[in-house]
Amino acid sequence: MQKKEYMLRAIELAKQGVGWTSPNPLVGAVIVKDGRIIGEGYHEKYGELHAERNAIKHLKESAEGATIYVTLEPCCHYGKQPPCTEAIAEAGIKKVVIGSRDPNPLVAGKGVRFLRAQGIEVEEDFMREECDELNPVFFHFIQMKRPYIVMKYAMTMDGKIATKTGKSKWITSEQSRKIVHEMRHQYTAIMAGIGTVLKDDPMLNTRIEGKKSPIRIICDSKLQIPLESKICQSAKEYPTIIACADAEQEKKADLEMLGVQVLEVSKEGRVDLKKLIEILGEQKIDSILLEGGGTLNESMLRENLVNEVHVFLAPKIFGGKGAPSPVEGCGICEVKDAKEFYLQDIRKIGEDVQLTYRKEVPKCLQEL
């Protein structure tokens, strides 16, 4: 095997932690000696062993003189786990090959300096682009202190998310809908508007065995949500936040009795989305899957809060001037005022197509 294959294996291992490590990053590690993999591991769950310590734990033989390939700079501070840099040095590893640099101020180059001070050879930025791709959420949250927001919607070839009578079940295939539930597992929270709740009475959970469900966030300016809705009735099972502009105190108390957290964040009679996102960041919510309708989607875009967009495109045409689109509101007058995103990935799912778009990577991340 070649160096690239070892790091690709570390990346593959890291991906097994998707949905479980938040707010920590996804990390994989592979230990190589005499051209053989003698240990490997990944960060499996928040609070548990980091990738490097897991790889050392699963060693088949002594790591004296070995090389470790790790997708992210090893940590050098005490958190829920002791420093990985110390474990690497104690294991007798002679070389560390690192993919991504860690922007966390507690690490940010300190791990590399510690290793070199121990006489360990360090190679940085190996397959950095591929390793960076593991952790857009982590990098964004560390730098911006607010959640990474992924807008998701399904639409027809002519850009409709429902028929003119509001019917939307089902635009896409069962395969595509399963991927959406996997995405709900992947992100820390899911956000929808009150219109979705009143129309569909959804659970907004993950219906895949063995996967976790996200924290549910409902934007409901006038606190219209029915107490008997599935969201409210299951709030003690699935953490639920309702953001409103104005809360009638009796209704707020009733919701809190059901286990709902009510956040009052008002701006001109509507939910102050920027303030809401700031508060959610303070609550350590590092990522949100936005499953809004056209109104909420437009509001989030207008406030420049969306980092990534996933479009599930179905081979159907609905037509109709009154059929809703993914982004509504007043719209723009000039093409130059459009919100621009960059195509990241195209994936065929049966007869559907999943398109992934992102904003540009911030220069501060490129220059780390």
User: Do 111 and 73 form a contact (C-beta atoms < 8 A)?
Assistant: yes
Any idea which residue has 């989607």 for tokens?
297
Same domain, 49 and 145: no
User: Do 223 and 247 form a contact (C-beta atoms < 8 A)?
Assistant: yes
Q: What is the pLDDT of residue 1?
A: 67
From 28, 30, 4, select the one nearest 14 (Cα to Cα). 28
User: Do 138 and 295 form a contact (C-beta atoms < 8 A)?
Assistant: no
From 97, 94, 91, 55, select the one nearest 72 (Cα to Cα). 97
- CA 251 vs. chain centroid, Å, equals 32
Note the pLDDT tens digit of each residue in 136-163. 999 999 999 999 999 999 999 999 999 9
Kindly calculate the radius of gyration of the chain based on its CA atoms and give it in whole angstroms.
Answer: 23
Same domain, 157 and 77: no
At 251, is the secondary structure helix, strand, or coil?
helix
**DSSP, res 76:** -
Same domain, 161 and 272: yes
Please identify, among 99, 134, 169, the residue that sits at the C-terminal boundary of a domain.
Answer: 134
Classify the C-alpha dihedral 191-193-199-201 as positive or negative.
positive
**Lowest mean pLDDT segment, chosen from 34-38, 91-95, 359-363:** 359-363
Same domain, 197 and 346: yes
From the candidates 5, 44, 52, 174, which is the catalytic residue?
52
Note the pLDDT tens digit of each residue in 230-282. 999 999 999 999 999 988 899 999 999 999 999 999 998 999 999 999 999 99
Question: How far is residue 306's CA from residue 149's CA, in Å, rounded to a whole number?
Answer: 5
Question: How far is residue 180's CA from residue 38's CA, in Å, rounded to a whole number?
Answer: 37
**DSSP, res 333:** S
Question: How far is residue 306's CA from residue 150's CA, in Å, rounded to a whole number?
Answer: 6
State the CATH number of the domain containing residue 69.
3.40.140.10
Q: Does 52 qualify as catalytic in the annotation?
A: yes
Residue 366: pLDDT over 60: no
* pLDDT band per the 50, 70, 90 thresholds, residue 79: confident
Angle at alpha carbon of residue 11, lines to 35 and 212, rounded to 5°: 140
State the CATH number of the domain containing residue 357.
3.40.430.10
Structural domain harbouring 108: 3-134
Residue 177: pLDDT over 50: yes
